[in-house]
Chains A and B, each alone.
Chain A
Amino acid sequence: MAAGDIVHAQARPSLGVRRRRIGEDIIKAILGLAALVSVLTTVGIVIALILPALDFFRAVSPVDFFTGKDWAPLFQPAHFGVLPLLAGTLVVTFIALLVCVPCGLGAAIYLSEYAHPRVRSILKPILEVLVGIPTVVFGYFALTLITPTVLRGYLGLSTDVFNALAAGLVMGVMLLPIVASLSEDAMTAVPNDLRAGAYALGATKLEVSTRIVVPGAISGIVASFVLAISRGIGETMIVLIAGGTQPNFTFDPRVSLETMTAFIGATANGDVPTGSIEYKTIFAVGLTLFVLTLAMNLIAIRLVRKYREVYE
């Protein structure tokens, strides 16, 4: 009986099942096509950056580009040293880290270890609101409140109208919830047994937080810092509005400077003729920016995976 059935199926395969399979194949193809969009996006980004950047490097030597201390693509004679832009990006991001690393970590420890569940359910949405605020709004805030009222007013600093300090401080607040939420995720993943064990040995809450929970969640915490650096390097509007567009090879946070992102934004918004060397600088700087953030993102992804593997 059973053997006969098999022979029967081989001789005349059921049409219904066969038709279904074709339908499923088509669906699979459609799903694959949708997934392909993301792949093509990456390929597109790489091509869009590399081809014009290669053109650019044919005209300007990479050595001059990466070691030059003068950035003046629109002047005669033009200078294409990217160091001032890189320095601008580093200064602003560093200031932002000074704010978002301690405060983000503190907020994460508070939410994960100290806060009453009800307090937590109020504070977390507030931090989420902070994430949702458009960066152009933060830029406005830095330019019209932080610089004139806080820096020049309360602190009495002699800053330029556009300066790295205001941009960096506000960017730090923008990055705070990113550090806080990723670190908190990692801390919540630390098993309660470890905490209970430490308490049983007579540890205080401070000791449990700093010596058990933070070390236990360290890869997630570091990932949140790396991600914050990546976001800071890639942030455009705050630095464009409050940091200025004055390339300046300096580490003085009080003066106006230009970051890589601000240069791209300012140059592309103006009318630069296609194919000109000025136009291609956008892509050379963009490529530098992309490679930097790509490296950061891959490190962060790896670190997050690590802590997930340990505890989940």
Chain B
Amino acid sequence: MIAEAPQRGRWAGLVFQCFLVFSLAVGVITLIVLFGQVLIDSQGYLDTSLLENPPSALPELAGARPAILASIYLAVLVFGFSVPIGVLTAIYLEEYAQKERWYNRLLELNIQNLAGVPSIVYGILGLAFLVRGIGLGRTLLAGSLILTLLVLPTVIIASREALRSVPPSIRDGAYALGATQWQVTWRQVLPAAIPGIATGSILALSRAIGETAPLLLVGAVTYVRFDPTLTSAFTALPVQIYNWIKQPQDEFKLLAAAGIVVLLVMLLVLNSAAILLRNRYQKRW
């Protein structure tokens, strides 16, 4: 009788396990095929002219230099804007706010919801307020501001988790020595949370770099031949890729594949940095 129990469900168990493995395989195989396809397609266009030339009507001459530069500028700006605001908000919510207050609960709900607002809606916000409202125009600055708002919830949520993982004993110890709340936060809690904050922020940043939809609304002109500045028109790398995909000629699709490889390499560098940071500095309390 006792031995029968596992026997009874053996076939069902086996079939079920096959289904589970298949489920995971769908994701893993797609990933491998996608990487393979992009690499194969990009052959022939993945060269230095892609990095050095501006876009062109001729696929052999076309490059993505202005787009790549703009994406790097965007990354730097978004990082500079979103990390201070995000970390300060996280400190407010974790260290200062009284959680039972209705406005703090609303704030928390608001941030959770913002994390799920479609990115194109942020584009509409940018179009209405930044581009037309305060007259920034379709500039790199407007693009970076809207991407900042887009990734801010992610930065806040990651920073909060990092702050929460700092054990209360650290705070208690500092308070016992007579430190004020800010001294406790600034000198004890924040330094201990920095690895987690940095990892989360870098991951948020990689989302900003790969984002296309909001930039279609706030900037990202199709054809930019010059190196971008803060207040000039710009096109980011994902937007450039999208514009190449849209072209009817197949050569441009292959060029898009080459652009995708560059984009993925940029993301790979960022993500590796995040993982390195996490493994190197992560503390186990």
Interfacial residues, chain A to chain B (CB-CB below 8 A): 20, 23-24, 27-28, 30-32, 34-35, 37-39, 41-42, 44-45, 47-49, 52, 99, 102-107, 109-111, 114, 123, 126-127, 129-130, 132-141, 143-145, 170, 173, 176-177, 180, 202-207, 209-210, 227, 230-231, 233-237, 240-241, 261, 264-265, 268-269, 274, 282-283, 286, 289-290, 293-294, 296-298, 300-301
**Inter-subunit contact B120/A265 (CB<8 Å):** yes
| Docked CA distance A44–B114 (Å) | 12
Given A34-B85, A137-B34, A140-B256, A126 and B129 touching (CB < 8 A)? no
Instruction: Provide the residues of chain A in CB contact with B97, threshold 8 Å.
Output: 35
**Closest chain B CB from A289 CB (angstroms):** 6
Chain A nearest Cβ from B143, distance in angstroms: 13
Those 9 A-B pairs whose CB atoms lie nearest each other, nearest first: A234-B118, A106-B23, A134-B210, A34-B88, A48-B128, A236-B213, A204-B9, A31-B92, A110-B20
Q: Are B210 and A298 in contact (CB under 8 A)?
A: no
Measured CB to CB, the nearest residue on chain B to A226 is B116
Closest beta carbon of chain B to A170's beta carbon, Å: 8
Q: Write out, one digit per residue, whether chain B residues 5-28 have a CB within 8 A of any chain A CB (1) or not (0).
A: 110110011001101111110111
Q: Is the CB of A241 within 8 A of B110?
A: no
Q: Which residues of B contact A111 (CB under 8 A)?
A: 24
B 57-95 binary contact with A (CB < 8 Å = 1; else 0): 000000000000000000000000000111011011100
What are 7 residue pairs bridging A and B, where the CB atoms are less than 8 Å apart in the complex?
A109-B20, A130-B31, A237-B213, A265-B216, A265-B217, A286-B124, A290-B117
Interface Cβ pair total, 8 Å cutoff: 259
Would you call B38 and A140 a contact (CB within 8 A)? yes
> Is B113 a contact of A34 with CB atoms below 8 Å?
no
Pick from B85, B206, B213 the residue with the most CB of A within 10 Å: B213
Task: Given A48-B129, A234-B120, A261-B213, answer yes or no on A297-B112 (Cβ-Cβ < 8 Å).
Answer: yes
Q: Interface of chain A, helix or strand or loop or mixed?
A: helix
A144 to B222 alpha-carbon distance, docked (Å): 21
- Minimal beta-carbon separation of B25 from chain A (angstroms): 9
Contact of A126 among B8, B28, B203 (CB under 8 A): B28
For B246, what are the chain A residues with a Cβ–Cβ distance below 8 Å?
Answer: 241
| A24 adjacent to B117 (CB under 8 Å) | no
Q: Which residues of A contact B256 (CB under 8 A)?
A: 140
Q: Within the assembled complex, what's the spacing in Å between the Cα atoms of A234 and B60?
A: 35
**Roughly how many angstroms separate A193 CA and B119 CA in the complex, as a whole number?**
42
* Cβ A38 vs Cβ B267 within 8 A: no
Q: Check A136 against B210 for contact (C-beta < 8 Å).
A: yes
Pair A294/B113 contact, Cβ less than 8 Å = yes
B13 touches A205 (CB 8 A): yes
Q: Which of A144, A203, A237, A290 contacts B242 (CB 8 A)?
A: A237
B249: chain A residues at CB < 8 Å are none
CA–CA, A31 and B182, complex, Å: 11
Question: Which A residues lie within 8 Å of B21 (CB)?
Answer: 110
Give every chain B residue within 8 A of A130 (Cβ-Cβ). 27, 30-31
Q: A177-B27, A206-B16 are in contact. List 5 more A-B contacts (CB 8 A).
A: A23-B182, A30-B88, A111-B24, A137-B210, A265-B123
Q: Interface segment, B45-53, B164-172, B190-198, B257-265?
A: B257-265
Residue contact B267 to A45, C-beta cutoff 8 Å:
no
Measured in the bound complex, the distance between the Cα atoms of B129 and A57 in whole Å is 21
A130 to B31, CA, bound (A): 7
A6 CA to B142 CA, complexed, in Å: 57
Contact of A20 among B13, B28, B180 (CB under 8 A): B180
**Does A103 lie within 8 Å of B26, measured CB to CB?**
yes
Indicate whether B107 reaches chain A with its CB closer than 8 angstroms.
yes
* Cβ contact within 8 Å between A35 and B93: yes
Are B114 and A41 within 8 A (Cβ)?
yes
Cβ distance B204 to chain A, nearest Cβ, rounded Å? 11
